[in-house]
């Protein structure tokens, strides 16, 4: 199956800019940004981020406040803080052998950077890769990592896969099956996540949010600092 997949990828791969680099920092930024965020939204933000902080050392020198401000619009602000902490760790100690030693870096992100930047023979398994392996029953090598991600994002979709255009369909035992809707995250509108986001925007604008519960939650995550009644961004 892998040969069929790679032939398809050669024709239909998505032109994602981070695929043109082996810079582990640039790839780490792309992977962190792409967590729970549509890739189309990530591309311009990734480019802008690297224009502002082109190296891991440049990001490490930045203030947490500037990093949080630049991240606005991507959601899940803890990712920005963890990326900043990871940059400071790397600037001080270099890239660790086990990339999960970096703040906020889990198994998938570590394997993605190891594979795409350092050329290690490891297959990063995200939800797309896992879904394709489960449906096909096939095994794939690290050489097929990007192809698997593209297939899962565009063809082998979670609920209604596009089997009619899938390069693996003829050999896939799951061909033609539809799946129950996956449980989705609750709506953002009216949620506590929205309250946190609003409170953080108010702090970024120099204000003092009235939502003490949201502020306390932000402070717990290190996204704001509390000094009596004063709320500020971390340094």
Is the distance from CB of 71 to CB of 79 less than 8 angstroms? yes
List helix spans (H) across 78-191: 78-93, 107-116, 127-136, 145-154
Is the distance from CB of 47 to CB of 17 less than 8 angstroms? yes
Beta strands in 54-207 (DSSP E): none
The three-class DSSP label of residue 153 is: helix
Q: 60, exposed or middle or buried, with CB in 10 Å at 0-12, 13-18, 19+?
A: middle
Catalytic residue among 2, 31, 51, 213: 31
Q: How far apart are CA 52 and CA 30, in angstroms?
A: 15
Active site residue 31: yes
Distances 167 to 8, 48, 141, 157 between C-alpha atoms, Å: 6, 35, 17, 14
Which residues carry out catalysis? 31
């Amino acid at each position: 199956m892998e040969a069929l997949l790679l032939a398809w990828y050669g024709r239909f791969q998505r032109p994602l800019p981070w695929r043109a680099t082996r810079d582990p920092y640039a790839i780490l930024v792309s992977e962190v940004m792409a967590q729970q965020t549509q890739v189309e939204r990530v591309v311009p933000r990734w480019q802008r981020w690297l224009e502002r902080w082109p190296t891991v050392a440049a990001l490490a020198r930045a203030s947490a406040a500037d990093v949080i401000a630049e991240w606005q619009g991507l959601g899940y602000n803890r990712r920005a803080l963890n990326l900043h902490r990871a940059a400071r760790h790397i600037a001080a100690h270099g890239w660790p052998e086990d990339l999960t030693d970096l703040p906020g870096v889990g198994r998938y992100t570590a394997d993605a950077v190891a594979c795409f930047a350092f050329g290690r023979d490891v297959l990063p398994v995200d939800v797309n890769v896992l879904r394709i392996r489960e449906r096909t029953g096939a095994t794939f090598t690290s050489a097929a990592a990007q192809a698997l991600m593209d297939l899962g994002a565009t063809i082998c979709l979670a609920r209604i896969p596009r089997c009619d255009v899938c390069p693996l369909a003829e050999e896939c035992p799951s061909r033609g099956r539809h799946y129950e809707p996956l449980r989705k995250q609750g709506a953002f509108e009216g949620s506590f996540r929205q309250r946190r986001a609003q409170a953080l925007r108010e702090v970024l604008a120099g204000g003092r949010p009235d939502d003490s519960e949201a502020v306390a939650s932000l402070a717990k995550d290190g996204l704001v600092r509390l000094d009596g009644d004063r709320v500020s961004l971390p340094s």
